[in-house]
Amino acid sequence: MAEVCRQHGGRAATCCQCQNKHAGMSVNELKRGKEREAESARLKKMCAELALKNVAIKDVLSRKL
C-alpha cells in the first residue's frame, strides 16, 4: 500500500485515511457523496451572498429613514 501511494506522489497516511473513510462504499455512493458536497458548497455560497445583500439593503434603508 505504501509503495503504491509513493508511486502516485501521495503519503501512506493520506492513503490510509481515504481508505478508512471510503471503505465499503460503492462507486455510485462515492459519486453521490461528491455531488452532495458540491451542492452543499453551492448552497452555502448562495446563502452567504443573500446574507450580504440583506445587510446591504438594511443599511440603505436605515440611511433613508
Residue 61 has pLDDT above 90, yes or no: yes
Specify the long-range contacts of residues 21-26, CB closer than 8 Å, at least 24 apart. none
Instruction: Dig out the grid coordinates for 63 from the structure.
Output: 440611511
* CA distances, 39 to each of 15, 16, 22, 34, 45 (Å): 25, 27, 20, 9, 10
Q: Look at the block and give the residue holding cell 478508512.
A: 20
Residue 11 has pLDDT above 80, yes or no: no
- How far is residue 52's CA from residue 63's CA, in Å, rounded to a whole number? 17
- Verdict on whether the full-model pTM lies above 0.75: no
* Domain boundaries, position 18: 2-64
Domain total in the chain: 1
23-42 pLDDT, tens digit each? 788 889 889 999 999 999 99
